[in-house]
Structure 1
Amino acid sequence: MQVKNLPQEFIEALPVLEQIRQAGFEAYFVGGSVRDTLLGLPIHDVDIATSAYPAEIKDIFERTVDTGIEHGTVMVLDHGNGYEITTFRTESGYQDFRRPDKVEFVRSLKEDLKRRDLTINALALAPDGTVIDLFSGITDLENKVLRAVGQPEERFFEDALRMMRTVRFASQLGFSIETDTFAAIAKNAHLLEKIAVERIHVEWVKLLLGQDLKQGVAAFLKTELYRYCPGLAQQKENLAKLLELDEFQLADELACWSLLCYLCDFSISDAKKFLKSWKTSNEIITEVTNVLTLLKHADEPTIDPFSCYKAKEKATQTAADLAEILQLKLSKETLITTYEQLPIKDKAQLTINGKVLIEKLSLKPGPILGKVLNILEHEVVLGNLPNQSEVLLQRAQELSKD
């Protein structure tokens, strides 16, 4: 097969490939960028593999950075772009199921490709657009099949995260998992315990953001990978609820974790512990808490405007999207409209502040001043007071006397 019209990202990188080839070495585009090109999907990273050893690459190019030289990777800086060039290599001795004990540089493209995880990722693209397919990856792309290169168990023993990557691709691409590959995941799912939570986290979120989430989740459950993920071992029935929903697409990571916590019926406290076990960011934890607080009103047709005000725009939008997906009594329209009609969206929008109250009413900094401002904020948000400085000042004076 030959790609007639190379994506612009490849065209920009061609001078790098040509320079390596002119020095007498082989060089190809490899991996996900080739797969996505054949699928007509956007390219994210341009990876290059070569028969040249790292020291030889550094001799060929003037500007390089040793980004992973122990594994054969050197970054070449070219006209403002950085391209990771990795030497063909073989790996062996995966005693921890995540890193090779030994990496050996080789001159053979075939040796390099056969250590990759899936046939659809073991493709190489020459500068003239010719696709090198040594493991029937093109056929699997056409048939929408995920198949391990060679013996599935060997690939998963090399890096147990590849099992999560496989179910993630099932969701992301809408592909089915080939029988032997699926069986090998189910048999070795326990090896996922060897993998750092941060690495599993990345694949799990990508799975939940996939175009065919149900396919990925179904495989995640049937292979029992869920049993070896933080906080999910006892959540099979709740995770299966994802399969019962109408077709949907989650917008971002916040939506993923919020939906998951809601379906698992976590309290705010339990949700925080769960998210911390996944090493999620503090920002995500805060936002998920805000979303769950709104969704506590799922069975009510209306919502207190101050709840939306406290949750802020992002959490309200996420709660609204989930309300639509879950078909809650508290509708998406109600949440969005309630937030949009708020008189103010932030305390800074009040027409008076602490400084004004100190100057005009001779209030002293402290608890009373803070309480007055909080009451004013609450009454303005609920529409009980107009956000006008004269009115707010008069109300503040009444409150300070009380």
Structure 2
Amino acid sequence: MEFKSLPKEFLEAKPILEKIDHAGFEAFFVGGSVRDMLLGNPIHDVDIATSAFPEEVKTIFDRTVDTGIQHGTVMVLDHGQGYEITTFRTESTYTDFRRPDRVTFVRTLKEDLKRRDFTINAMAMTKDAKIIDLFDGLLDMKVHSLRAVGNAETRFNEDALRIMRALRFSSQLGFSIEEETKFALQKLASNLEKIAVERIRVEFEKLLMGAYAPKSLELAEKLDILKYLPGNLMSMNLPEFRKALELTHPESTQEVWLLIGYYLNLEKEDLEKFMRSWKTSRADIQAVTSVVPVAKNIINATTYQLYEINQYEELLLSLLNMIQTSPEVINKIYTIFRKMPIKKIQDLSINGSMLIEQAIVAPGPDMGRILKIIEQQVVDEKVPNKQEILLKYAKELVKNEKN
């Protein structure tokens, strides 16, 4: 198969291949960029594979960075772009189920392609737009099938993260997983426990943001893969969660965890433990543990409860939409946010310094407590946010407490 014209991402990188060819070596576009071009999807990073060994690549180009030279990867800096160029290689055993114990550089493209995960990722393209398909990736793409290159069990034993990648590609592309590949997924799922949680999390997030997430999630459940993931996902309301994903899908990782958190029957403390088991960021933990409890009881949410999570207004409204909250309730919540007299305590017309200057209260815990009471009264619109009125109110509070 050949293309008359290449996308601009490849055209911009074409001089790199030409320069390698001119030096007497082979070079091809490989991997996800070729797959995405064939599928008509947006192209991200353009990866290049070559018969030139790393030190040889470095002699061809003036500006290079050793980004992963032990594994054969050198980054070439050219016309303001960085291109990762990786030497054709074979790989030995994978005792950690993630990285090869040893990499051997080779001179033939076929040896390099046959170590890759799935047939749709094992195609290459010349600088003249000719597709090289040694493992029927084009056919699998045509019939929407995700199939491991060679022996599926061997591929997943090499790198257990490929189990999650299979589900992720299925979710993103809507491809079914070929039977032998599916069997290997189930048989070797326990190997996921040997993979770093951070790597699993990235694939899981992408899976749940995919257009076909409900189908892939259901497959993961049927193949007993979910039980090997952190946090006991089997305890959540999976049918309702899948239903929510059918109606809408998260567009950010925070939305992913908000939706998961909503369908987990966990109190705030346990919800935080769940998030930590996935090694999510502090920002994501804070967002989920702040928003989910309010969303679960949104009908009874008070103005002050909404004020306390004011910084997460967009996330809360997004979650309410994802769980199909009625438009009337969403509009009510939106209106409350709009009408709040203050958005944060710094918006009060008075502060601690004023209380001290007026000799209303001394520095210390009492001052913070008094300001907190005033803050809540202003938010609830029981006291107007005017300096003179608030100072008078503060004096009355202190006086009443002393009496």
SS for the counterpart of 1:139 is helix
- Between the aligned partners of 1:29 and 1:348, the Cα distance in structure 2 is 55
Structure 1 vs Structure 2 CA RMSD: 1.8
After superposition, the Cα gap between the structure-2 partners of 1:219 and 1:358, relative to the gap in structure 1 and judged at 3 Å, is same
Shift of 1:234: 4.1
User: Who is 2:238 aligned against?
Assistant: 239
TM-score, length basis structure 2: 0.94
Shift of 1:224: 1.2
Shift of 1:362: 5.3
Shift of 1:324: 2.7
Shift of 1:141: 1.8
Shift of 1:352: 2.0
SS for the counterpart of 1:331 is helix
Equivalent pair of 2:122/2:135 in contact (CA under 8 Å): yes
**Are 1:391 and 2:389 counterparts?**
yes
Shift of 1:262: 2.0
Q: Which amino acid aligns with 1:367?
A: P
User: Who is 1:198 aligned against?
Assistant: 198
User: Who is 1:333 aligned against?
Assistant: 331
Higher mean alpha-carbon deviation, 208-217 vs 389-398, is at: 389-398
Shift of 1:31: 0.9
User: Who is 1:320 aligned against?
Assistant: 317
- Between the aligned partners of 2:153 and 2:331, the Cα distance in structure 1 is 49
SS for the counterpart of 1:260 is helix
After superposition, the Cα gap between the structure-2 partners of 1:360 and 1:15, relative to the gap in structure 1 and judged at 3 Å, is farther
Shift of 1:81: 1.8
1:287-366 mapped onto 2 (5 Å cutoff): 287-298=287-298, 300=299, 302-314=300-312, 316-328=313-325, 331-361=329-359, 363-366=361-364
Percent pairwise identity: 51
Shift of 1:283: 1.2
1:2-401 mapped onto 2 (5 Å cutoff): 2-232=2-232, 234-235=234-235, 238-245=237-244, 246-298=246-298, 300=299, 302-314=300-312, 316-328=313-325, 331-361=329-359, 363-401=361-399
Q: Which amino acid aligns with 1:359?
A: E
- Between the aligned partners of 1:23 and 1:85, the Cα distance in structure 2 is 15
Higher mean alpha-carbon deviation, 199-208 vs 259-268, is at: 259-268
Shift of 1:233: 5.9
- Between the aligned partners of 1:344 and 1:210, the Cα distance in structure 2 is 38
SS for the counterpart of 2:65 is strand
Q: Which amino acid aligns with 2:392?
A: Q
Equivalent pair of 1:33/1:43 in contact (CA under 8 Å): yes
SS for the counterpart of 2:148 is coil
SS for the counterpart of 1:244 is helix
Aligned residue-pair number: 398
Structure 1 gap ranges (5+): none
SS for the counterpart of 1:66 is strand
Equivalent pair of 2:33/2:43 in contact (CA under 8 Å): yes
- Between the aligned partners of 2:50 and 2:333, the Cα distance in structure 1 is 54
- Between the aligned partners of 1:362 and 1:382, the Cα distance in structure 2 is 23
Q: Which amino acid aligns with 1:325?
A: M
Equivalent pair of 1:350/1:387 in contact (CA under 8 Å): yes
SS for the counterpart of 2:150 is coil
- Between the aligned partners of 2:254 and 2:219, the Cα distance in structure 1 is 23
- Between the aligned partners of 2:243 and 2:86, the Cα distance in structure 1 is 44
Equivalent pair of 1:20/1:60 in contact (CA under 8 Å): yes
- Between the aligned partners of 2:375 and 2:152, the Cα distance in structure 1 is 61
- Between the aligned partners of 1:172 and 1:211, the Cα distance in structure 2 is 6
- Between the aligned partners of 1:307 and 1:230, the Cα distance in structure 2 is 30
Q: Any idea what the Cα deviations from partners look like across 1:21-66, whole Å, max 9, x if unmatched?
A: 1111111111111111122222221211111100001111121111
Q: Which amino acid aligns with 1:306?
A: Y
SS for the counterpart of 1:357 is helix
Equivalent pair of 1:321/1:332 in contact (CA under 8 Å): no
Q: Any idea what the Cα deviations from partners look like across 1:288-315, whole Å, max 9, x if unmatched?
A: 00112212314x2x5211111111233x
TM-score, length basis structure 1: 0.94
Shift of 1:328: 4.0
- Between the aligned partners of 2:384 and 2:119, the Cα distance in structure 1 is 65
SS for the counterpart of 1:129 is coil
Equivalent pair of 1:305/1:381 in contact (CA under 8 Å): yes
Equivalent pair of 2:87/2:105 in contact (CA under 8 Å): yes
- Between the aligned partners of 1:197 and 1:362, the Cα distance in structure 2 is 53
Equivalent pair of 1:306/1:382 in contact (CA under 8 Å): yes
Structure 2 gap ranges (5+): none
- Between the aligned partners of 1:388 and 1:145, the Cα distance in structure 2 is 66
Q: Which amino acid aligns with 2:92?
A: S
